[in-house]
């Protein structure tokens, strides 16, 4: 079988109600309905999920690893965003 005309889908599975969908992998399919069935067969054979999302891979826009320095740099020098930055007396330190 040729995959020439098949679309690439990314697959996300929710393993349990209440949890986020997590990326598990990708697959080729003709359309979303088929992708869902394939995903069920490939990724949930042992009841790994209660809900599946499939997304056209081409619809995913990703940040670039190369840019990561300028992209995330500004976060590194802000220790005051963390609770541990604040030193409080022992009696109230469970705050």
Q: CA-CA distance, 81 to 27, in Å (whole number)?
A: 40
- Residues contacting 81, CB < 8 A, separation 6+: 75
Q: Is 61 in the site for another protein (CB under 8 A)?
A: no
**Distance in Å, CB of 90 to another protein, minimum:** 9
Cα 4 to Cα 41: distance, rounded to the nearest angstrom: 21
Interacting residue with another protein among 3, 51, 56, 68 (CB under 8 A): 51
Give the binding site for another protein (CB under 8 A).
Answer: 14, 17-18, 20, 51, 78, 80-83, 85-89, 91-92, 95
């Amino acid at each position: 079988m040729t995959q020439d005309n098949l679309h690439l889908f990314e697959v996300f599975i929710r393993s349990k109600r209440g949890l986020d969908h997590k990326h598990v992998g990708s697959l080729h399919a003709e359309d979303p309905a088929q992708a869902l069935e394939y995903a069920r067969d490939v990724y949930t054979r042992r009841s790994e999920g209660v809900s599946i999302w499939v997304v056209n891979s081409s619809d995913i826009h990703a940040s670039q690893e190369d840019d990561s320095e300028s992209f995330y740099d500004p976060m590194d020098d802000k220790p005051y965003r963390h609770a541990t930055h604040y030193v409080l007396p022992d009696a109230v330190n469970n705050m």
